[in-house]
């Protein structure tokens, strides 16, 4: 129980002191290809928008981590408080029509998965025995979900029919730098071309795992030098990653070239996750929630939280 309490309070108390004299210069020399960016929606300072998913109705659903609120945001940017979870929340995934599964901790700080039904009611779907920091969650196969555990260093497999949970993959590439580090290990996860990709924030890598008959193959480092919170693919295999404390949105091309497409000066303070959309003209558009730099406040101070709309040229 004490571990869970420490983990769930960590995200609100993380400061630059964990890096000694400040953030490591991971992206200081990364080439820039800054794209047109605007505020699609904005929220008060000290709002921590954590994860985003597009619902079947075309609206965006976003977790507000500290207060357990799920926001519904229309394509015109209008926002409403859609549902309230009793606890703190991180990842979100679709679960049937107008239903969602959400990862986080209940009011006793037990790692849990919550369900939001089509009437906006919320309840604990199941708890995670042995869980520590349930984070990113995605649909997997007909009846499953994969869940990244940022402190246990594993990927859980949830069977939605019987609500059973087991370890799908545990590997050092998913673990934290060490057991004392507050930085997440396995964080965001996506399936692309029958491979699972996992961001390890603390180690600054994205891991690639072949999927063989719904089982995990041997993990390998897909790209290094990329500290990413959550991310998304476009149809061409480009990864767009939100770097959170590094206040950037990056692009990783299929040939593993890394470029910065948005930075602090155009609103990317505490960028946490990404959804990739297509415009009517066929152009790629990113929707990126932020926490305004709450994790490690930039020198200019914590900003209001936002959803950025980034149009890729």
Structure tokens at 270: 């505490």
Pairing of β 284-289 and β 37-45: unpaired
For the beta carbon of residue 28, count every other beta carbon within 10 angstroms: 8
* 287: its two tokens: 């929707």
Predicted local distance difference test score (pLDDT) of residue 73: 98
Q: Going residue by residue through the chain (313 aa), what tens digit of pLDDT does each one get? A: 444 444 445 554 454 444 444 678 999 999 999 999 999 999 999 999 999 999 999 999 999 999 999 999 999 999 999 999 999 999 999 998 889 999 999 999 999 999 999 999 999 999 999 999 999 999 999 999 999 999 999 999 999 999 999 999 999 999 999 988 888 999 999 999 999 999 999 999 999 999 999 999 999 999 999 999 999 999 999 999 999 999 999 999 999 999 999 999 999 999 999 999 999 899 999 999 999 999 999 999 999 999 999 999 9
Task: Report d(CA 200, CA 174) in Å as an integer.
Answer: 6
pLDDT at 22: 66
- Residue 246 makes CB contacts below 8 A (sequence gap 6+) with 23, 26, 27, 227
What's 175's DSSP letter?
Answer: S
Q: What is the largest CA-CA distance in the chain?
A: 52
Q: What are phi and psi of 247, to 5 degrees?
A: 55, 45
The fold of the 2-14+33-311 domain, in CATH, is Neuraminidase (2.120.10)
Of 166, 139, 143, 144, which is closest to residue 155 (Cα–Cα)? 166
Cβ(133)–Cβ(148) below 8 Å: no
pLDDT at 24: 85
């Amino acid at each position: 129980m004490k571990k869970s309490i420490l983990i769930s309070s960590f995200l609100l108390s993380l400061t630059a002191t964990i890096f000694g004299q400040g953030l490591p210069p991971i992206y200081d020399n990364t080439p820039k290809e800054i794209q047109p960016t605007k505020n699609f929606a904005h929220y008060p300072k000290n709002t921590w928008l954590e994860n985003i998913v597009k619902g079947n109705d075309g609206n965006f659903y976003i977790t507000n981590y500290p207060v357990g609120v799920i926001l519904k945001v229309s394509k015109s940017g209008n926002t409403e408080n859609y549902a309230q979870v009793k606890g703190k929340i991180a990842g979100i995934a679709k679960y049937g029509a107008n239903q969602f599964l959400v990862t986080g901790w209940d009011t006793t700080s037990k790692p849990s998965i919550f369900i939001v039904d089509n009437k906006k009611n919320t309840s604990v779907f199941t708890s995670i025995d042995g869980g520590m920091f349930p984070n990113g969650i995605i649909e997997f196969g007909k009846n499953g979900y994969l869940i990244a555990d940022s402190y246990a260093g594993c990927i859980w497999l949830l069977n939605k029919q019987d609500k059973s949970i087991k370890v799908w993959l545990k590997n050092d590439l998913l673990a934290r730098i060490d057991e004392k580090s507050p930085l997440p290990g396995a964080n965001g996860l996506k399936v692309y071309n029958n491979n699972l990709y996992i961001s390890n924030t603390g180690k600054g890598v994205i891991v690639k795992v072949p999927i063989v008959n719904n089982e995990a193959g041997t993990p390998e480092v897909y790209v290094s030098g990329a500290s990413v919170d959550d991310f998304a693919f476009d149809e061409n295999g480009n990864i767009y990653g939100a770097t959170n404390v590094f206040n950037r949105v990056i692009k990783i091309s299929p040939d593993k070239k890394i470029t910065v497409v948005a930075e602090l000066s155009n609103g990317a303070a505490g960028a946490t996750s990404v959804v990739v959309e297509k415009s009517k003209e066929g152009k790629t558009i990113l929707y990126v929630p932020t926490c305004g730099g709450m994790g490690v406040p930039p020198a200019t101070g914590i900003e209001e939280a936002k959803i950025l709309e980034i149009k890729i040229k």
